[in-house]
Amino acid sequence: MHETSLIQFTLDAVERRAKELGICHVSDIRLVIGELRGAVPEQMEIAFHLLTSADQARGLFSGARLDIEYRPVLLRCRACGHPFPSTLEAYAKAVCPRCESASHEILSGDELLIDSFCGE
């Protein structure tokens, strides 16, 4: 499952950082994820529960909460600079609503970042 690898990636990164900071219990993780990552919110929750429960022996993530901010897709036209919203399904073939150019870049929607985490 795609979401499982996203969560595993997140937990690995948080664990590395927690070790550096001498944190032995993480209570909250705040994640920012763009729509282009194709993650289903419910599946993210399920994967988080499965993986943090599996970690119970060490206790680093026991009882931890996950807070996810989903970012919608926002494109910018390379021809006229006009920013416009899109979706995971449509962005590859999106056309600028102002000048009809099919050339665009992603302004937001492809994020996968750990905004912050709390622990002690």
Structure tokens at 49: 């529960």
CA distance readout (Å), 109 to 16, 17, 35, 55, 71 = 26, 25, 5, 30, 5
Contact (CB, 8 A) for 73 and 34: yes
Of 84-103, binders to Zn ion (CB under 5 A) are 96, 98-99, 101
Report d(CA 95, CA 77) in Å as an integer: 8
Q: Which of 24, 40, 54, 79 binds Zn ion (CB under 5 A)?
A: 79
Residue whose CB is less far from Zn ion, 1 or 99: 99
CB of 76: closest distance to Zn ion in angstroms? Answer: 9
CB of 33: closest distance to Zn ion in angstroms? Answer: 27
Positions in the binding site for Zn ion (CB under 5 A): 77, 79-80, 82, 96, 98-99, 101
